[in-house]
Amino acid sequence: MNFYVCIVILTVLLMIAMTLHVFRYSGFTKNQKTWYILTFLSIMVCSLAEYAVHCGYYDKSFKFILTVLTVIQFSLAPLLGVLFIGALGLKHQKKIAIGFIGINLFVEILSAPFGWIFYYTDEGYFRGEYFTIYMVFYFISLLYLIICMVIVGKKFSHRDMPTIIMVLVILVAGIIPMSFYRINVTYMAIAISSSVCYIYYNDLVQQDIQVAFTINQKRISSMQEHIISGLANLIENRDMETGEHITRTSRYVKTLAELARKEGLYVDKINDEFIDHLFVLAPLHDIGKILVSDTILKKPGKLTSEEYEEMKKHAALGGSVVREVLNGITDEEYLSFAEDIATYHHERWDGSGYPKGLKGEEIPLSARIMAIADVFDALISERCYKKAYPAEEAFKIISEESGSHFDSKLVDIFLKNKDLFL
């Protein structure tokens, strides 16, 4: 009997724990919380009623009270499946639950005085001649539960059927013993089954949320890439040379960043995400040029000081364009990364660059890498205002500008791997 007391206590404690979890969990709607709490409280009531009947301390003077408790228990027990399915979100459960409890309660109250389903004698509790009625209610409830769980399971399109079947097996294994055997640990089994089902289905919901989030992130990433590609094409349509330039510089920055990481340089900043961002966003480094007049952008000769000042504005304008276009479709980290490349790729290590005159490591690492790739490709490319430099001469110029224009550490790696940039 002490063992049975422990079983009842454990059942009640488990249901209290589950109820508290439902109260505290923010992922459920108010309606879902109500259904779950009703389910767990009903299991507690049935378990305590079962204990009161079979505790071994029967006194015939409590016959009426025990009869009332048994009527409540027998009315609630077949309802557990309906309550649980309501918690899982199937519609119209409120009407079905009222129908179940109404029919069960009516039959139990009607049968109680005649002992058709159960009765008490001086010796205690006994099953009635028509106890099968109660078993039929249980089977109907169980069948309804199985059908509904399959229906609900189909909502979770990203979870395989074996998991759904496993949940059903656990629940059925917890309920069937009550229909066939007089086992006083039945409600403990039901409590465990309900808890496991709750955990599994909560996991299904979370996995579907995660899958939906992942799909949404991919959609956003695709949108970002299309926007970046579209903006890059705008530049290319302005100047075919610049269009080829952005393709080559994307490859250069990725290669240089990978080499830097391999050499152990700036490993606190250069990771896979940094390299991916750098490669994808490099085409936006000259996006500000779409706001520069064709007269200046395509001038065949040297720019005047006034024209040069206008040209320099493309850096700050590029940062503004990037932020305006990408704002709202990406996170701040990604947005800032793109803005840094567009705004600061003309800053110089010695502080004499533009638009803000940043110096040394004040310049974002992405922009420092972009600066080397941008200048190198500009040197080896033919433009409307100049002939292309031979590659070796371009490497020499980059070397001479190390520590003044460029980050010397990055230049060292760049020059050590010349063949990768040809």
Catalytic site includes residue 30: no
Which of 11, 376, 410 shows the shortest CA–CA distance to 193?
11
Q: Is the sign of the CA dihedral 231, 235, 240, 246 positive or negative?
A: negative
As beta bridge partners, residue 386 has 383
Helix H or strand E encompassing 124: strand 124-127
Q: CA torsion, points 306, 311, 314, 316, in degrees to nearest 10?
A: -40
Cα angle vertex 36, ends 32, 39, to 5°? 145
| Helices 30-54, 186-238: inter-axial angle, 10-degree rounding | 160
**CA quadruple 6, 11, 12, 16: dihedral sign:** positive
Ramachandran category for residue 308: left, alpha or beta (phi over 0 → left; psi -120 to 50 → alpha): alpha
Number of C-alpha atoms within 13 angstroms, CB side, residue 30?
0
Q: Catalytic residue among 154, 155, 289, 409, which?
A: 289
* Token couple for 306: 């006034």
> Can you list the alpha helix ranges (DSSP code H) found in 55-130?
63-76, 80-87, 93-111
Give me the helix-helix angle, 131-155 and 161-180, nearest 10°.
170
Count of alpha carbons within 13 Å of 292, Cβ hemisphere only? 25
Residue with the two structure tokens 């009997």: 1
CB-based contacts of 308: which residues, under 8 Å, 6+ apart?
none
Active site residues: 289
